Structures are given as C-alpha cells and as structure tokens.
A and B are shown apart, each in its own frame.
Chain A
Amino acid sequence: NAGVMQNPRHLVRRRGQEARLRCSPMKGHSHVYWYRQLPEEGLKFMVYLQKENIIDESGMPKERFSAEFPKEGPSILRIQQVVRGDSAAYFCASSLGGRERYEQYFGPGTRLTVT
C-alpha cells in the first residue's frame, strides 16, 4: 500500500517564477493537509482540503499561494511569483475522514529553493 507521494522532491525556481507542488494521498484517504517547514522551525499548517473543497486555509498566505484537490488527480499547492522567503520544505499529509482525521500520514516533502 503506497504511502503519501509528493513530487517533485526538489524544486529550484528563480524569483518571479511559479512553483507547483503535487501530492497524492494514501489510497482511501480523502483529506489532504499542506504544511511548510522553515529552517529551525517546526511544521506550520497551511491548508486543509477534501475532494474539491477547501475546508481551512487559515495558515496560507493571502497572496500568491493557492491550493486545490480536484475530484481526479493529486492535490496541488501553487506558489506564484516566488520569492526567496518561499524557500522551505513543503509537506503534504493525508488522513481518513470522520474521527480518524486526527491521524495524518506524511509524504517525504518537496524542498523548494528560490534563487
């Protein structure tokens, strides 16, 4: 049973370019969460999605960042016009629904470097 998959694992973008990060949840999981990890910091919640719905985006910057989880295909975290401060590791997690939502399984992360 494949775990949470993220790609690419490493992404280098120049300032002003767009970054698209992909996350495929574990089989059977319909809840996806995105977190950002900055150096010397823990993981910070960004956004929580179910299929075709954004449930909570309170941790996501208001500008340049967006996320989606379409009916078919992976969840996408999109960062437009990247800046050096966006350099971080971005982790996706997935969970079952209902009372099992608290148990989240993490992917290996995408490490974004903005030059």
Chain B
Amino acid sequence: AQSVTQLGSHVSVSEGALVLLRCNYSSSVPPYLFWYVQYPNQGLQLLLKYTTGATLVKGINGFEAEFKKSETSFHLTKPSAHMSDAAEYFCAVSAWGNSGYSTLTFGKGTMLLVSP
C-alpha cells in the first residue's frame, strides 16, 4: 500500500519569492511520483512526474521537483512565484504491484496563495 503526506494545507508566498511545497510518500515498491495542479472549478493538470532515471525533474511553468529516496520525499519548488501560480497542488504516488497495475494515491493538497 502507498500513501502521500503533504505538509501544510496552505502556503503563502509573495510574488517573486521561492515556492516550496512539501510531499512525503510511503510505498512498499519503487514509486512513480507526480505533482498535479488544480485551478478553481477545473480538473487536474500534470505538472511533472518522476518514474526512473534523473532524480531532479523539470515540469511546466518553471516548476521542478527532486526525488529523494533516503528521505522518501518529492518536494516541489519554483524559484520565483507568479500570481498565476495561485492554485491547489496535489502530490500523488503510483506504485506497480504484483497485479501489474496501480492507481494514483493523492495527498490532501496544498493551496498556494501568492500575494503582490
């Protein structure tokens, strides 16, 4: 079984400041990790994903995340926040099991607030 913990239901930053959204996961098998963004009344859009290979992954809109196995973390960062980044962000894990498939397990989400 897998699980995801997102620390902080709300994170507030000023425009131009560093964005750091935290995600820790638990998985009994090597995980695939994802960050999704959800704008109000919309569906989820994939920001970035880690499957195998390079542990630092870059996504859309200037976001990146680093897979740290020893810390079981997959934190999302962006060097400089923009007003348009205000949204809810979800970390998710997908782990392949013996049955040959898996589904996504999501964290509870972090609302990013960006002030001028």
A91 to chain B, nearest CB (A): 6
Taking CB atoms, residues of chain A closer than 8 Å to B42 are 108-109
Q: In the complex where A4-B43, A102-B32, A107-B43 touch, is A42 in contact with B103 (Cβ < 8 A)?
A: no
Residues of B within 8 A of A33 (CB): 103-104
Stretch at the interface among A12-20, A43-51, A63-71: A43-51
Interface size of B in residues (CB-CB distance below 8 Å):
26
Known: A42-B107, A43-B106. Is A106-B44 also a contact (CB below 8 A)?
yes
Q: Is the CB of B102 within 8 A of A102?
A: yes
Interchain CB contact under 8 A, A45 and B104: yes
Asked whether any CB of chain B lies closer than 8 Å to the CB of A101, the reply is yes
Q: Which A residue's beta carbon lies closest to that of B49?
A: A103
Which residues in A have some Cβ–Cβ distance to B below 8 Å? 4, 6, 33, 35, 40-45, 48, 55-56, 59, 91, 93, 101-109, 111
Pairs across A and B, CB under 8 Å, 10 listed: A42-B90, A42-B107, A42-B109, A43-B90, A43-B92, A48-B101, A59-B103, A101-B101, A102-B49, A106-B43
